[in-house]
Amino acid sequence: MRLRIKVESYTQLHHLGYAKSVEVWEGDNLIRGLYGVEVGNIFCGESMFSLQPNPSKLALIHLCKSGKYKLVDCQLYTAHLESLGARMISRDTFLEELKVNYLKK
């Protein structure tokens, strides 16, 4: 039941232009990527997926280097994400970024 609701919710968000994915393909096979919600110039990651070793690094690096986002919310701070340039920010800073970069539009 929960998965169906999540799929339906993300389908609606996609149709509204908020749900985004970054995919890595090998030929006709989707092998890794990530998906989440775009809020202005902030990307809030929901999940990363991988069908091959070295999960989703290419997709995350592409997303971060695209220059499209001022902030990428990774949800969970890990040493792996830190090695890719992630840094922890406070909740207050995050909420301020949302206000400045989205709510004013």
What value does the mean pLDDT of the chain take?
84
Q: What is the tens place of the pLDDT at every residue in 30-53? A: 888 889 999 888 899 888 888 877
Q: What is the maximum span of the chain, computed from C-alpha positions, in angstroms?
A: 43
User: Distance between CA atoms of 50 and 34, rounded to whole angstroms?
Assistant: 9
Domain residue extents for the chain: 21-103
- Angle (CA) 99-34-39 rounded to 5° is 15
Q: Which residue has the higher pLDDT, 95 or 84?
A: 95
